[in-house]
Structures are given as C-alpha cells and as structure tokens.
Amino acid sequence: MSRDPHTPDRSPADAPVTDVEFTHVNGVRLCVRDRGPVGAGPPVVLLHGTTAHLGVWDEVVARLGPDVRTLAVDQRGHGRSDRPPGARYGAEEYSADVAALLRELGEGPAVVAGHSLGARNAVVLGARHPELVAGVVAVDYTPFVEPEVLDALHTRVRGGDRAFSSAREVEDYLRERYPLLPDAAVRRRSRYGYRRAADGWRPLADPRAMVLTVEGLRPDFDAECRAVRVPVTLIRGEHSRIVSPRAFDATRRLRPDLRAVQLPGLDHYVPEEDPVAVAREIRRTRDRTDHPNRPNRPNRPS
C-alpha cells in the first residue's frame, strides 16, 4: 500500500484526512487505515455500511487497543475509494475486493467485522473465501431483511445526495438522520464523509454507487449464511429499523449454532452507539480462532 499525503478532499472542518493508505486490488483503488502490529494474531478487517466510510470504526479501533492490527476499509464507491465507471456493487464485487486486499497484504485468515452492508459482505466473504476468514462479526444485518425495509433505505440514500450550504447544515442533517449517535460520531461522519464542491458540501459516497448498492442488497444471502463455517456472531440493535425481530429470529433458526446478541437501547448504528460492546464481541471472536502468531512475517509495505 502507498500513502497519499496530498489527499484533495477536505472536510467541513477543513481538516485533511492524511492517515490513510491506498492500494489497487480487483481493479479498484481502495482507501485503508492500517493500524496495529503485524503478525500478532489475526488482523481485524472493518467494513462500514451503505453511504458510510472507514471513520465510523474509529472508536471500535481505539477500544480494541494497540495490540490488534486493524484494517478499516472504504469500500468501493464510498469514502476515498474508487468508483470506476460501469462498476458493479453486488455481494460478489464487494467480497472480492476484500479477498484481494487480504491477499495483497499477505494477511489472513482475518476476523472480518462488518456493519449493515459490511455485515452482508463479511458473511459472503466467509462463505466464499474461507481460507481468508478466521471469524465474522456481523453487526445489524442478516438474511431475510424485508423488501419494504430496502425500499425505505433506497429513499433515504437518494435523500442524502444533496448539497449542504455549511458544515453546520451537514451536522444538523446527520443528527436528524441518526438520532442516537453521540456528537463526536456526528462530527466524525461529517469530517470523513463530506467534501467542499462548487455548490456546497457534498457526500463523498457516489450517488450511482449507493443506488446500485441498495439494489445489490435485495438478493438474499441465506445460502452463504448457511455455508459459512467459521465462528460467526450476529449483533442486532434492539430498536433497529433494518433488522426486524422477524428477520433476526429467522436467521437464528437458520443457524442456531451462531452466537446471536441483541444490544438494548440501540438502533441500527451499533458500532458508533456502543463501540465498547462491538469491540468486546470482536475480541471474543478473535480469541476463539486458532490463528497462530506469526512474528517472522514481513513488515507491511510503506
């Protein structure tokens, strides 16, 4: 991976995001934040949800601690990663990107934690590339999500594709859209996820990619959930508007052997609302793997 010290996108706070790296895999340039030591047990790959970015994992990374290597990824079409003309945004493409990233780094098997879209991608990756995945933590997305839920998500995604007149307007919009997020998480979403354009502040997430991403969520992935053989933890926020109690229960019936955790008082945005609980579940999954320490592995590329 290579660092890009001249990141052109500036946040509403006018603070450039420079502590990221870029790598070309699977025909896409991905933006990654790589922290922690190489070779001290399985790395943790962190995959955000639709319209989000790698910054939503910052508090989880902090609570995992400096002894865990974390790779937080801007998935294709999101954040500072590429959105190539004609690119596809289905489970196959998203999971193939992460598989290629792990092979590029010579890392794996990894614990893959994903939120929402990222949870689907983590499960599919675990089913299709079991040699690269030591465990999965799937946060607030499961099979059997109802079509009307995705219809509503499609509407919200389109509503976010707009110009904002100021940083304050961006944050006011985010607070209304995500009412349980702490103020620090709102500011982080603003800082990482928006840039100044000719007509105001606009989201970095590509509008076409977001629409195609939601459409790509419509095919169910119960077959992949049934097939995955590594340890899997499913997490649901008690008040989630994405994973209904019916969908969560149906997934538990599909795979009663998987660990299922419901966190009280939270809605869909669990990693930002309770990073302590999410970090705890990631560590628990990581501790269950038999991936050995590899102190003789080469240092990460610079």
- The residues annotated with a catalytic role in the active site are 116, 140, 268
C-beta neighbour count of 197 within 10 angstroms: 11
Alpha carbon distance 118, 36 (integer Å): 21
- CA 18, chain centre distance (Å): 19
Ordered DSSP codes for the chain: -EE-TT-----TT-----S-EEEEETTEEEEEEEES-TTSS--EEEE--TT--GGGGHHHHHHH-TTS-EEEEE-TTSTTS---TT---SHHHHHHHHHHHHHHHT--SEEEEEETHHHHHHHHHHHH-GGGEEEEEEES--TT--HHHHHHHHHHHHHT-S-BSSHHHHHHHHHHHSTTS-HHHHHHHHHHHEEEETTEEEESS-HHHHHHHHHHTSS--HHHHHH--S-EEEEEETT-SSS-HHHHHHHHHH-TTSEEEEETT--S-HHHH-HHHHHHHHHHHHHH--PPP-TTSPPPP-
